[in-house]
Amino acid sequence: MEQVVSRGKDRLPILMYHNIARAPRDLRVYRSLYVSPETFTRQMWLLHRLGYTGLSMSAAMPYLRGEQRGRVAVITLDDGYADNLEAALPVLSRFGFSATVYVVSGSIGRFNAWDAERLGIRKRLMSVEELRAWHSGGMEIGAHSQTHPRLTQCDDHQLRNEIQGCKADLEDRLGVGVTQFCYPYGDADDRVAEATRDAGYTAATMTRRGRAVPGSDLWRLPRVQVARHHFLPQFAMRTLTGYEDRRA
């Protein structure tokens, strides 16, 4: 029993955000993908107040591998929206946190082509210059494929392009190493995970619920989604307790 409790305490929340902005009034669906700057600030304040350090994926690797222990929350943001730079970066910097933004390399400086029609809105993505500013601010850039497809539906050639090609695109355009990957839609199977390892990524995240267990499969890491309606009590419960683990 003592060992089980200890493992639970050692679990790491990998927080999953998308937009750090107020949801547009004309947004049709998925308003939950928006977390307001004020709410985000309160969430980061709470982590800091409770003695947690917010880390990027690469900075958290010693904890994810089980080599170090501590009060750590991993902060990830999917897709690379411009509001991450405008609203999240100043807050993260204020608390001395780092974070990873996962970028769709084929849409840099453009918009969310993969779901704009369904959402009824085009959301601006960071340009090369803005991604460089994010990195210069002490943050990490990770890969999120070239075109944001469902990777399990790609043939082997497409899969290599989406995974290896994204890494090459980002490293070439930004001049930084890219070692972290996030599966679009959380869509991955054994073949996709193997292709991600073979491409040279040191870890990959999914949308599967739960906190990460140190020493577990680094290419199938679960995350804790933070949504628009998660106020501070819900955020604390989902992030710092076994709530999400029981729903994995």
Burial (Cβ within 10 Å: 0-12, 13-18, ≥19) of residue 157:
exposed
Minimal CA–CA distance to 203: which of 63, 70, 79, 109?
A: 63
Crossing angle of helices 232-240 and 37-49, rounded to 10°? 50
Tokens of 196: 């991600």
Specify the amino acid at residue 228: R
Q: How many CA atoms lie within 13 A of 84 on its CB side?
A: 34
Minimal CA–CA distance to 112: which of 41, 172, 34, 51?
A: 34
Q: How many CA atoms lie within 13 A of 147 on its CB side?
A: 9
For tokens 């995974």, name the residue: 163
**Per-residue tens of pLDDT for the chain, all 248 residues:** 233 333 456 899 999 999 999 998 877 788 889 999 999 999 999 999 999 999 999 999 999 999 999 999 999 999 999 999 999 999 999 999 999 999 999 999 999 999 999 988 999 999 999 999 999 999 999 999 999 999 999 999 999 999 999 999 999 999 999 999 999 999 999 999 999 999 999 999 999 999 999 999 999 999 999 999 898 999 999 999 999 999 88
Q: Model pTM greater than 0.85? A: yes
- CATH superfamily membership of 2-103+112-138+203-246: Glycoside hydrolase/deacetylase (3.20.20.370)
**Domain spans of the chain, in order of start:** 2-103+112-138+203-246
